[in-house]
Structure 1
Amino acid sequence: MPHANNGNSRFSAFPVSGRSGASLKHTHLNAIFSERDQVGFFEVHAENYMGAGGPPHAALSRVRRDYPVLLHGVCMSIGAPQPLDEAHLARFRSLVERYEPAIVSEHLAWSTHDDVFYNDLLPLPYTNETLRHVCEHIDQVQAAIGRRLLLENPSTYLVFAESDYDETGFIREIVDRTGCGLLLDVNNVFVSATNQGFSALDYLADFPLEHVGEIHLAGHRQQSDDEGEPLLIDSHDGPVCDAVWKLYDIVIGRAGTIPTLVEWDGDIPDWPILKAEADAAQAVLDRHAATGARKIHHAAAE
């Protein structure tokens, strides 16, 4: 499939490069509307806005007048072997057309089987057969929305006994075959590395950062498995931990000032707490932007 266009028809008025943003939660609307330029952008889960109208759309339309909006799908089931749900894809396409989001993304996962819908984003075997239907589904979504889709790396709690690729190699193959972009969730990397016993730094060194169009940061919850070993749950219900901030700093130093979202989906705090997390991400972006500008200045002066 030819690479999909980026769909940036009129987004220059709402740039997101080098900006940090936050998940849009309706409990925060009054605080958000009280002052302009609270954060760089807001991201919403597509499935929360698939009704025809009502208060959710009224609020999102008001936010969209003042901020870039990013659309993040969670139920497309890109990794399922069965065909995509055409009705769901049509609703997804309508949201893209209605709000013209700066970035559109989905997950490398599956969440449906026949007519059953699960509440989890489930892992995939990284086989050639899986690669084929994942790429077919991404091609289908990109053709429907007329633009590039970003695909998010998963958080995992188990691995399949047989795979033809490691995760980063599988993701690179998807990008090469479909022209999609990537959403790098740094917390997911840390969660998976801890649970599976691999190096997060080695994973990031092999990850195709040149194709990353957005970064996610989030909190996780720690518990123990049956053997008493640490088990991290990608819960999105707390602040970003220090280790994830360190990994994020490394990624931005290598890849540049990629737009960054702080996700917080459970135990929602007051707005100033979530905003402070987004501000902390912005501080990292600004520091690296300034360092890059100084390097360019010095190189030009030599």
Structure 2
Amino acid sequence: MRMAVMGASGRMGQMLVRLIDESDQATLSAVVERAGHDWIGRDLGQVMGGAARGIVVTDEVAAALAASDAIIDFTSPAVSVALAQAAAVAGVAHVIGTTGFSEVDLATIAESGERGRIVRAGNMSLGVNLLVTLTRQVAAALGAEYDIEIVEAHHRHKVDAPSGTALMLGEAAAEGRGVALGDVADRGRDGITGARETGAIGFHAIRGGDFIGEHDVIFAGEGERITLRHVASDRALFARGALKAALWLDGKGPGEYSMLDVLGLSSR
């Protein structure tokens, strides 16, 4: 597959470039950066600290899509929403690892999935998606007398909270209990909050240092606690998952898919 990378100068972008280069199933077709970025118009190999390779970094999304079968995107909500629409029109598969979307953003992406092929996930790792499945199962098995708290930790530069992964876990817990997350989410506490509401799903975000990503789902009952935990120690696992998702989309019909679909863990 011919693959383009959106946001090529970022840590995930550069990791994706290297993984695509190593793959025997994909070839790098284009690299895109935002208009005005100092990589624009320069050779990708040279700006990444190596030899020239004949691929020039561009801000022309339409040209990159025309040269590609898939585009992988870890950027920002506004960029990803616009790209979802453009990729659907161009018939190019779109893998979205961006987080921090609003409800309006998600609705727009879903509309793009009616025509295009999209994999969108708050986390691309196998382990996290297994954790999502386990969270749904445990929430379904335990009653509301078990309080659910989701604690996540990320590096100091992360701009959104709760993390996309924490929200995935919250959605899974709510689904397991047969409720809507928006009706039971409790995001952080401060001051005189009163007693915890039965059935609430709590979220807590730690930001500091160089945490890559840690997520705990705590089921706290009277006399016992169950904790499901995932710790990421290498960012490359997210890039590997995104590449797997892009390859999986080859030949698929229109739709907005998740990593659970890619990994064969979805119930649908």
TM over 0.5: no
Return the TM-score normalized by structure 2.
0.34
More helix per residue? 1
Query: 1 or 2, which has the higher strand percentage?
Result: 2
TM-score if structure 1 supplies the norm length? 0.31
